[in-house]
Amino acid sequence: MGEPEGAPPRPPAVGVSLCDSAPLLWRLEDLRSVRARALVGTLLGSLPRTPRQNLRLGRPLLLLPEEERVLSEEHAAGALPARDQQGGDVELKVRQHQEEQQRSYEEQRVLALEDKKSALLRVRTASPTGPEVSLDRALQERLHAAQQNFGFPPSAMAVQLSTARAGLAHCSESRALLQADWPIRDQNPRSANRYQVFRDLRRRGFYLTSAGKFGGDFLVYPGDPLRFHAHFIAVCVSADESVCVLDILAVARLGSNVKKTVLLCSAGPDADVLYTSVQWSGMS
């Protein structure tokens, strides 16, 4: 059945690569697709031009288990075939990579030696003291010694990273395969409570991310996290589960310190979710 007339087009299906049990998205168009579905995820990769920092990260995007399940139930994602991940003969690719690394090492060694010689020449030009003949002879000796004994360890190589913005290549056949209606992998039945809370908050228009660093299950945003701060810390508990008062006090105090309201979320048997807000008001 086609899309209703006048309805906005649905985002395309996405391809999920499983690294052990972690669902990852690598393709740029897949990241755009899940964002259009109000799914955020967490970026893990370093940026090509600034790899030694962890403030601004890039692909891959790690999905929450609940986000993966939403995509699976909406038939909007599938696991990428193993052949797409391997991309052919692994041994051949490893050998080609090693050969390319060796060529790059030889080229960088030549360039590093030229830089060293240029530095010696600049020093000779900047300090013209002493007899001309003796200075030239000393310079030639140092240049010859640099040529013979120059060391360039492989650890000093510059890493070559791609800065292309087109994303990873893919074929239309694999894109068609991703329209599968099977689950990506079996879901843990113990996560049913979390998923029910996740689905209910998402249905209400909230954006959710992981709240592990705040001691909760989800951070709840009123809109896109790029534009809004989180208003709530959602903590999922079973309706028949007893909760220690000290645990409630601890998470309420933490929520007060970060200016967020703590939500105790309990999923009911009829798909309803009960929310209880907790705020720290001080000690008397």
User: Mind listing the pLDDT tens digit for each residue in 255-273?
Assistant: 888 999 999 999 887 778 9
Confidence of residue 181 (pLDDT cuts 50, 70, 90): very low
Q: What is the pLDDT at residue 254?
A: 87
Q: What is the pLDDT at residue 233?
A: 94
Lowest-confidence region among 15-19, 99-103, 169-173: 169-173
Lowest-confidence region among 12-16, 77-81, 277-281: 77-81
How much is the pTM? 0.61
More confident residue, 217 or 136: 217
Active site residue 229: yes
Secondary structure, 3-state, the chain: CCCCCCCCCCCCCEEEEEECCEEEECCHHHHHHHHHCCCCCEEEECCCCCCCCCCCCEEEEECCHHHHHHHHHCCCEEECCHHHHHCCCHHHHHHHHHHHHHHHHHHHHHHHHHHHHHHHHHHHHHCCCCCHHHHHHHHHHHHHHHHHHCCCCHHHCCCCCCCCCCCCCCCHHHHHHCCCCCCCCCCCHHHHHHHHHHHHHHHCCCEEEECHHHCCCEEEECCCCCCCCCCEEEEECCCCCCCCHHHHHHHHHHHHHCCCEEEEEEECCCCCEEEEEECCCCCC
Question: Which of the residues 195, 229, 231, 259 is marked catalytic?
Answer: 229
Question: Which of the residues 75, 221, 231, 275 is marked catalytic?
Answer: 221
Does residue 94 carry a pLDDT above 80? Answer: yes
Active site residue 260: yes
- Per-residue pLDDT, averaged over 19-37, amounts to 88
Contact 118, 142 (CB under 8 A): no
Q: What is the pLDDT at residue 170?
A: 47
Does residue 191 carry a pLDDT above 50? Answer: yes
- Per-residue pLDDT, averaged over 176-181, amounts to 46
How crowded is residue 207: how many other Cβ atoms within 10 Å of its Cβ? Answer: 22
Confidence of residue 149 (pLDDT cuts 50, 70, 90): confident
Averaged confidence pLDDT in the chain: 78
Q: How far apart are CA 158 and CA 154, in angstroms?
A: 9
- Per-residue pLDDT, averaged over 107-123, amounts to 81
More confident residue, 184 or 245: 245
Q: What is the pLDDT at residue 128?
A: 60
Q: What is the pLDDT at residue 167?
A: 44
Contact 180, 213 (CB under 8 A): no
- Per-residue pLDDT, averaged over 5-20, amounts to 75
Q: What are phi and psi of 250, to 5 degrees?
A: -65, -45
206-262: pLDDT as tens digits: 999 999 888 899 999 999 999 999 999 999 988 787 888 888 888 888 888 899 999
